């Protein structure tokens, strides 16, 4: 069993003893803490909190517990049921609610679930706010409503409203997509994407859709993280020549992966790169991704004479940097698209609509489009820590050793060399240092990371 409490939310496995997983008692405690925080801090005049969930097996149980706890604190609940993470974010804003809770463990396996916590704008709580929720939970500083002030629940479906919001975006070209007559294969890993992605594609004018794993049972047909090793089924289908593009989403539909007509992965980093290329072509402006994302976004941004900025890892950090720099597009290299013209949250539905618009305008195959972008490879390595190792001292020493290069220390230490970069981050959940490195070949990326690992080992002696 596992229960991970962090400033970005609460996640854990289902089952076992209270306090050892994300079980009903734990859910009530943290939801009550969140509701207490919202009651104390919101500037909204609303008394509503939106609740949505993905299709994982524990979702129905968690939904009832969470809705009941919110009503017990005195909040009215708008329960939107099976809904994507971005749908819940949009619904929170559209309802004028004072907060929202998404029940999803994102790409984690079926035994996991989580509480993702939103503010009145439908955006994730920041670090300070998340820490306060954890403090309230630990102190159990919540007061439940008396019988005359219990909340009420209203059930709504926001899927169609989300799709309409996507179609209304200026850069979504339904006519061009329809004229392209795309054949599209989709893998929605047996969650809420199976409900909304086919509806979106039909609304975009796509008439040829091959559906894989679209029944929202929560019994994921494969590991739900949208990485190449987990996507052999759709890759094999694409190799048969039955579709022009393959589209894959994770269980809560905030990460988007693409497969070309040859069955090759477009590359999770390049989802954002391609969408940014399209947006920048029509909307000059700045871009943002996190420090561990590909340099390719910077290169494409520079092509348009615009400014790229890097944020600390984490969606809330990326959105904060996007607001500060007035970015027109941003996101994370894991396939997360954040398009402010829609909302400040990773949204695969927005990503799908913009990518297909781009593909229709370019009149290229997916592999031909991919070939127009700079070629980079990211290697991901780690080094295990022992209790006596002073990680902060090691990171400081690495920063000083490479001070002649462009070094960023807003989130660990990132060293930008002329032809590559290496990013070191201490894990918040494991006793390890993660070492991400990027270069023009995988071999060079792995060597760059390995060299830093050897330096860390020498410093740890």
- Angle (CA) 261 265 320, round 5°: 125
Decide which of 95, 126, 157 is a domain's last residue.
Answer: 157
- Those residues whose C-beta lies under 8 Å from the C-beta of residue 416, and which sit 6 or more positions away, are 405, 406, 407, 408
pLDDT digit string, tens, across residues 177-233:
999 999 999 999 999 999 999 999 999 999 999 999 999 999 999 999 999 999 999
d(CA 424, CA 385) in angstroms, rounded, equals 13
Q: Tell me the HSE value of 178 on the side-chain side, using a 13 A CA sphere.
A: 10
Shared domain check, 94 and 227: no
Q: Put the strands of the sheet holding 336-338 in their side by side order.
A: 308-311, 286-290, 327-332, 336-338
Q: How far apart are the first and last CA of the chain?
A: 34
Shared domain check, 180 and 119: no
Phi, psi of 337 (to 5 degrees): -100, 125
**pLDDT for 1:** 64
Tally of domains in the chain: 3
**pLDDT for 457:** 86
Shared domain check, 383 and 357: no
Shared domain check, 441 and 365: no
- Give me Rg for the CA atoms of the chain: 22
Shared domain check, 353 and 216: yes
Shared domain check, 307 and 255: yes
> How far from 142 is each of 97, 114, 272, CA to CA, in Å?
20, 21, 41
- Those residues whose C-beta lies under 8 Å from the C-beta of residue 109, and which sit 6 or more positions away, are 220, 223, 224
Query: Could you tell me the residue range of the domain that residue 276 belongs to?
Result: 162-370
Decide which of 348, 370, 392 is a domain's last residue.
Answer: 370
**pLDDT for 391:** 85
**pLDDT for 386:** 79
**pLDDT for 363:** 97
Shared domain check, 415 and 277: no
Shared domain check, 217 and 105: no
Phi, psi of 448 (to 5 degrees): -60, -45
Q: What 3-state class would DSSP assign to 187?
A: strand
Contact predicate 376/295, CB 8 Å:
yes
d(CA 407, CA 159) in angstroms, rounded, equals 43
Q: How many helices (H) and strands (E) does the chain have?
A: 15, 20
Shared domain check, 389 and 345: no
Taking only the tens of pLDDT, the chain with its 461 residues reads: 678 887 778 999 999 988 889 999 999 999 999 999 999 999 999 999 999 999 999 999 999 999 999 999 999 999 999 999 999 999 999 999 999 999 999 999 999 999 999 999 999 999 999 999 999 999 999 999 999 999 999 999 999 999 999 999 999 999 999 999 999 999 999 999 999 999 999 999 999 999 999 999 999 999 999 999 999 999 999 999 999 999 999 999 999 999 999 999 999 999 999 999 999 999 999 999 999 999 999 999 999 999 999 999 999 999 999 999 999 999 999 999 999 999 999 999 999 999 999 999 999 999 999 999 999 999 999 988 877 788 889 899 999 999 999 999 999 999 999 999 999 998 766 778 899 999 999 999 999 999 999 998 888 76
Q: Which residues does the annotation mark as catalytic?
A: 106
**pLDDT for 29:** 96
**pLDDT for 429:** 63
């Amino acid at each position: 069993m596992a229960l991970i409490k962090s400033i970005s939310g609460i996640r854990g496995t289902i089952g076992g003893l209270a306090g050892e997983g994300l079980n009903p008692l734990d859910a009530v405690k943290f939801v009550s803490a969140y509701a207490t925080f919202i009651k104390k801090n919101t500037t909204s005049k609303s008394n509503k909190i939106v609740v949505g969930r993905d299709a994982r097996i524990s979702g129905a149980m968690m939904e009832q517990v969470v809705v009941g706890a919110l009503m017990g604190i005195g909040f009215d609940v708008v329960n939107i049921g099976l809904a994507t993470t971005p749908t819940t974010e949009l619904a929170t804003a559209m309802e004028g609610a004072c907060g929202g809770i998404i029940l999803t463990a994102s790409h984690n396996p079926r035994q996991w679930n989580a509480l993702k916590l939103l503010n009145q704008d439908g955006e994730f709580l920041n670090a300070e706010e998340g820490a306060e929720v954890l403090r309230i939970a630990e102190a159990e500083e919540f007061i439940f409503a008396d019988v005359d002030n219990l909340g009420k629940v209203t059930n709504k479906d926001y899927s169609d409203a989300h799709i309409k919001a996507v179609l209304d975006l200026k850069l979504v070209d339904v006519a061009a997509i329809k004229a392209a007559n795309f054949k599209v294969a989709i893998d929605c890993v047996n969650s809420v994407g199976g409900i909304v992605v086919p509806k979106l594609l039909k609304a975009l004018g796509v008439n040829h859709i091959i559906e894989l794993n679209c029944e929202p049972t929560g019994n994921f047909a494969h590991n739900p993280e949208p990485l190449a090793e987990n996507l052999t089924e759709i890759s094999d289908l694409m190799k048969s020549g039955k579709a022009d593009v393959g589209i894959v989403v994770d269980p809560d539909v905030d990460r988007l992966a693409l497969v070309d007509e040859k069955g090759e992965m477009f590359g999770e980093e390049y989802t954002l790169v391609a969408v940014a290329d399209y947006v920048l072509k029509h909307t000059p402006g700045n871009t943002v991704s996190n420090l561990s994302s590909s340099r390719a976004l910077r290169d494409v941004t520079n092509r348009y004479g615009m400014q790229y900025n890097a944020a600390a890892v984490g969606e809330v950090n990326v959105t904060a940097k996007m607001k500060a720099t007035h970015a027109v597009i941003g996101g994370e290299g894991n396939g997360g698209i954040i398009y402010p013209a829609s909302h400040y949250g990773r949204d695969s539905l927005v990503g799908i609509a913009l990518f297909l618009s781009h593909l229709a305008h370019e009149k290229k195959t997916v592999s031909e489009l991919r070939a127009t972008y700079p070629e980079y490879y990211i290697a991901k390595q780690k080094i295990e820590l022992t209790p006596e190792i002073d990680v902060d001292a090691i990171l400081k020493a690495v920063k000083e050793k490479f001070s002649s290069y462009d070094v960023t220390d807003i989130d660990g230490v990132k060293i930008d060399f002329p032809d590559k970069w290496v990013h070191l981050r201490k894990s918040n959940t494991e006793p390890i240092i993660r070492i991400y490195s990027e270069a023009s070949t995988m071999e060079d990326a792995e060597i760059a990371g390995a060299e830093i690992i050897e330096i860390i080992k020498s410093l740890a002696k």
